[in-house]
């Protein structure tokens, strides 16, 4: 078998953990498998580098940000290659560019366009464990790009697809995918399997075990994922296509996300093209908008509210300020003391009334809903951040998701 | 003018120093010059990375060592580019590979083979300050190489030559080149100018202001160097070709080097090819041998002593152990408690008796000479490490090098 394994920052946080990962990698290699390993930066390295940047400037520029952040993974691949070789296996480290990972030109949030993995294949044929830096690639100008937080998952899945791997294992510090964040909901239950669609919604909703783009990619190419812990040998959770018959659970998981901020624009003229101008301007700056609510307050005048990641708030506000005259709204405000709680389940599409049951559970706890959005298999509500944990526990109980 | 500036690790050791370097760079740019800046890793970064490696393995392998060490400069170029941009100048950082610096395949001690600086020229034409990572390049296999300690000097000089720059400024934490290490010899004097040959000998002898290879390169291409401090605006020392008339000083400087170890091989058969076998084997491992002394003890049996850098001692001993049977010597020993003290001066070649005056000065201090070696413009002696400082002061006084 050809197996691609991805180890997150907490799995390689120090020398001891790197040696433990090396032992696991060497073990799989000794069983006769070919192994490609994708690694993130050690522990808090990325945050440390960001702090270092902040000590120099408040406006680093995204190209230079990618230049500095990409060093984190370069350190961990070299250390892991050394540790694997110490165990008697041949190994070689490769940066994203060396592994042939080409991206578009969007610094700090690049998307993989192509993987030219000839050298990776050569080194595998030579019997080596190939250790690739996650999170990074090369754009058309020869500049280093990064894929954004969590991008190492995407690197792993994209490499697995390009190499036609049999399995892509995502190692993390939890045992798999849970019905809710186990740090918040004590009786949260680990799932044995979950469908791509459900995982995608959960990932989008702040479940941090997998990056949404990696799930999207896996779904498109039908690449089997296994989410498991690097600290034990439990089987974890398999993410795969699940048949209709298996969609028995109406709600399979709940999620919450604190990295969310609301922006409201007042007195927007009710003209065609207004929403287009607003969201086009945000998209141009690569700001993802999540929920959008437009409310008709008076004739021909609207308010528009939408949410962005808290980390994009400053940039989004600058965009809004810049288009104020063009669009002709009277003012705007924002709120970053909010959270998004969601329920997810592939069975929801065919079970009416699930959203109402969610609102019931929240109302009983006196939790006010500021915004609501739904998809076929998900309902999300914006609430006050300080009520997020209480809401999560209430929803988990209400839909009977806990251990029996 | 096109100026290449090189800043060492101590000049960019923290955020404040990086901002200070940025101000200096922006100042030169504002005067209307084109500027290429070569930067080393911040302060102790390289040592910290080596410590990190040691916490994982004792046998890192040189390719992986280069992979991890090259991240140090990548961090400092990004930070400096950010800081220069903060001052209103355009700037772009480039890794060694991005700047087109191609090397041979010798990891950890690579030599620059070629510089393809089209992109550097383009960015200069676009009005940007170009900030290049020192110490690193790319070999023919697409792997990252490093040039060895002090290699950033070589990067700067090689870039200056490739770009046909008007001047190459080497910024460091001292005011220029001194007649002796000012930390050891209190009345050491800063030189205004020094010839390539003298600088080359001093650099080889442990004066740490310039890497020998960078001086060698400057001499071959006649690239004017200016060694100066990044902490003030003093003019520093100019390194250039000096005419015969100027070679008035018999001895221009003294130097000492503690990074030296002696290896002795006993009872070497006196056959042709023996020395060749010994030193060929060491060269194959890229171990530089400095002084060699062969003494005929008895008929047809020799002892051979030679010195290597202390940092190469372990590797050198492994080589010696490996060729023991082939060469047929009976044993070997080593001593790393030694130092090399030297006197340098272009005028020595035409002034007989200078070596004798050196031995006199050392004898008067009861300092024993373990090995002696000479070149046209240099005499070096191996003495006990603990007498190095005393020897240096004595020689500096003896040849009247101090401030008047």
pLDDT tens column, A352-369: 778 888 888 998 999 888
Q: Is the pLDDT of residue A88 over 70?
A: yes
What is the interface size between A and B, counted as CB pairs within 8 Å? 108
**Residue B155 confidence class, pLDDT cut points 50, 70, 90:** very high
CB pair distance less than 8 Å for B83 and A57? yes
Q: How far is CA B292 from the centre of its chain?
A: 20
Q: Is residue A317 a contact partner of residue A334, using CB atoms and an 8 Å limit?
A: yes
- Nearest residue in chain B measured CA to CA from A16: B56
Q: With contacts defined as CB-CB under 8 Å, which chain A residues touch B74? A: 67-68, 70-71, 74
Mutate to test the interface with A, among B68, B84, B85, B135 (most CBs of A within 10 A): B68
* Chain B residues closer than 8 Å to A93 by CB: 64, 67
Average pLDDT for B273-278: 78
For residue B237, give both structure tokens: 């020392």
Q: What is the pLDDT of residue A227?
A: 94
A102 to each of A105, A113, A132, B120, how far by Cα in Å? 9, 6, 14, 22
Least confident of A6-20, A72-86, A202-216, A384-398: A202-216
Res B300: pLDDT: 64
DSSP one-letter string for A233-285: ----EEEE---GGGTT-S--EEEEE---EEEEEEEEE--TTHHHHHHHHHHHT
Residue B379 to residue B344: CA distance in whole angstroms = 7
Burial profile A6-26: b = 16 or more Cβ within 10 angstroms, e = fewer: bbbbbbbbebebbbbbbebbb
Mean pLDDT lowest for which of A70-79, A295-304, A336-345? A295-304
Mutate to test the interface with A, among B78, B83, B117, B118 (most CBs of A within 10 A): B78
Please answer yes or no on whether B68 and A61 come within 8 Å at the CB atom: no
pLDDT of residue A197: 86
For the full predicted model, state whether its pTM sits above 0.80.
no
Place of tokens 């221009």: B252
Task: Give the three-class secondary structure for B244.
Answer: helix
What's residue B390's pLDDT?
94
- CA angle centred on A249, ends A243 and A252, rounded to 5°: 100
Rounded to an integer, the average pLDDT of A147-161 is 91
Cα distance between residue B148 and residue B311, in whole Å? 12
Predicted pLDDT of residue B288: 83
User: Please, what is the Cα angle at A222 between A217 and A227, to 5 degrees?
Assistant: 75
Chain A nearest C-alpha distance from B109 (Å): 18
CA dist B152 and B101 (Å) reads 12
Of A61, A82, A85, the CB nearest to B82: A61
Count Cβ atoms within 10 A of the Cβ of residue B350 and give its class: 0-12 exposed, 13-18 middle, 19 or more buried: exposed
Kindly state the percentage of chain B with pLDDT values over 70.
Answer: 94
**pLDDT of amino acid A34:** 97
What DSSP character marks residue B325? Answer: H
Give residue B205's pLDDT.
72
B21: burial class by Cβ within 10 Å (0-12, 13-18, 19+)?
A: buried
Mean local confidence (pLDDT), A59-81: 96
Mean pLDDT of the A335-350 span = 85
Q: How far apart are CA A116 and CA B398, in angstroms?
A: 66
pLDDT per position as a tens digit, A206-236:
666 788 888 888 998 999 999 999 889 999 9
In terms of C-beta distances under 8 Å and separation of at least 24 residues, what long-range contacts does A216-222 make, across chains too? Answer: A217/A154, A217/A157, A217/A158, A217/A161, A218/A157, A218/A168, A221/A161
| Residue pointed to by tokens 């009872």 | B267
CA dihedral for B182, B187, B192, B193, sign (positive or negative): negative
User: Which position has the higher pLDDT, B371 or A70?
Assistant: A70
Range of weakest confidence among A196-200, B79-83, B102-106, B269-273: B269-273
Non-local CB neighbours of B249 within 8 Å, separated by 6+ positions: B345, B346, B347
Q: Is the pLDDT of residue B132 over 70?
A: yes
Q: Hey, what are A288's tokens?
A: 């993802």
- Three-class SS state of A91: strand
**A96 contact residues in B (CB cutoff 8 A):** none
Mean pLDDT of B267-283: 80
B284-326 pLDDT, tens digit each = 888 888 888 776 555 666 778 889 999 999 999 999 999 988 8
pLDDT, averaged across chain B: 89
In this predicted model, what pLDDT tens digit does every residue of A29-63 receive, in sequence order? 999 999 999 999 999 999 999 999 999 999 999 99
Would you state the torsion angle of the CA atoms of residues B238, B242, B248, B250, taken in this order, to the nearest 10 degrees? 80
| A60 chain-B contacts, CB cut-off 8 A | 78, 82
A255, A203 Cβ separation under 8 angstroms:
no
Lowest mean pLDDT among A157-166, B58-67, B370-379: B370-379
* Smallest CA–CA distance from B98 into chain A, residue: A142
Chain A residues with at least one Cβ partner in B under 8 Å: 14-15, 18-19, 49, 52-53, 55-57, 59-61, 63-65, 67-68, 70-71, 74-75, 77-79, 81-83, 85-86, 92-93, 95, 98, 119, 142-144
Tell me the CA end-to-end span of chain B in Å, nearest whole number.
37
Contact (Cβ atoms closer than 8 angstroms) between residue B304 and residue B293? yes
pLDDT of amino acid B299: 60
Distance from CA of A141 to the nearest CA of B (A): 10
Tens-digit pLDDT profile for residues A268-289: 877 777 777 888 888 888 888 8
Mutation target among A14, A82, A92, A126 for the B interface, most CBs of B within 10 A:
A82
pLDDT of residue A266: 84
CA angle B238, B243, B245 (to 5 degrees): 120
Computed over every residue of chain A, the mean pLDDT equals 89
A119 interaction partners in chain B (CB closer than 8 Å): 142
> Residue B18 is nearest to which of A56, A64, A143, comparing CB atoms?
A56
Pairing of strands B237-240, B144-146: unpaired
Q: Which residue has the tokens 């001891």?
A: A16
Measured between its terminal Cα atoms, the distance across chain A in Å is: 37
Give chain A positions within 8 Å (CB) of B49.
Answer: 75
Q: Check residue B319 and give its pLDDT.
A: 94
Is A92 in Cβ contact with B63 (below 8 Å)? yes
């Amino acid at each position: 078998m050809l197996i691609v394994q991805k180890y997150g920052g907490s799995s390689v946080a120090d020398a001891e953990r790197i040696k433990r990962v090396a032992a696991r990698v060497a073990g799989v290699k000794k069983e006769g498998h070919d192994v490609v390993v994708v690694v993130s930066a050690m522990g808090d390295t990325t945050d440390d580098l960001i702090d270092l940047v902040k000590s120099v400037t408040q406006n680093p520029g995204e190209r230079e940000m990618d230049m500095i952040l990409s060093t984190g993974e370069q350190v961990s691949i070299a250390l892991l290659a050394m540790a694997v070789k110490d165990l008697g296996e041949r190994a070689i480290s490769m940066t994203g560019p060396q592994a042939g990972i080409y991206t578009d030109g969007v610094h700090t949030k690049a998307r993989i366009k192509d993987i030219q993995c000839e050298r990776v294949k050569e080194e595998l044929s030579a019997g080596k464990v190939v250790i690739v830096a996650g999170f990074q690639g090369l754009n058309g100008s020869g500049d280093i790009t990064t894929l954004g937080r969590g991008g190492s998952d995407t690197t792993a899945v994209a490499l697995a697809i390009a190499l036609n791997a049999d399995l892509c294992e995502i190692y993390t510090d939890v045992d798999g995918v849970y019905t809710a964040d186990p740090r918040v909901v004590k009786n949260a239950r680990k799932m044995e399997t979950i469908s791509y669609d459900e995982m995608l919604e959960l990932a989008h909703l702040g479940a941090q075990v997998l990056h949404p783009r990696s799930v999207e990619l896996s779904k498109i190419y039908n690449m089997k994922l296994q989410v498991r812990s690097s600290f034990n040998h439990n089987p974890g959770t398999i993410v795969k296509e699940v048949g209709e018959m298996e969609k028995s659970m109406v709600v399979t998981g709940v999620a919450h996300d604190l990295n969310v901020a609301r922006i409201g624009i007042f007195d927007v003229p009710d003209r065609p093209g207004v929403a287009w101008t607003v969201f086009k301007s945000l998209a141009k700056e690569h700001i993802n908008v999540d929920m959008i609510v437009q409310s008709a307050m008076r004739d021909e005048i609207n308010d528009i509210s939408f949410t962005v990641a808290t980390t994009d708030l400053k940039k989004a506000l600058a965009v809004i300020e810049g288009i104020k005259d063009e669009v002709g709204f009277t003012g705007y405000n924002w709120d970053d003391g909010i959270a998004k709680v969601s329920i997810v389940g592939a069975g929801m599409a065919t079970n009416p009334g699930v959203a109402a049951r969610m609102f019931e559970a929240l109302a009983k706890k006196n939790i006010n809903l500021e915004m609501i959005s739904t998809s076929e298999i998900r309902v999300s509500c914006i609430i006050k951040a300080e009520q997020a944990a209480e809401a999560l526990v209430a929803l988990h109980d209400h839909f009977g998701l806990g251990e029996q």
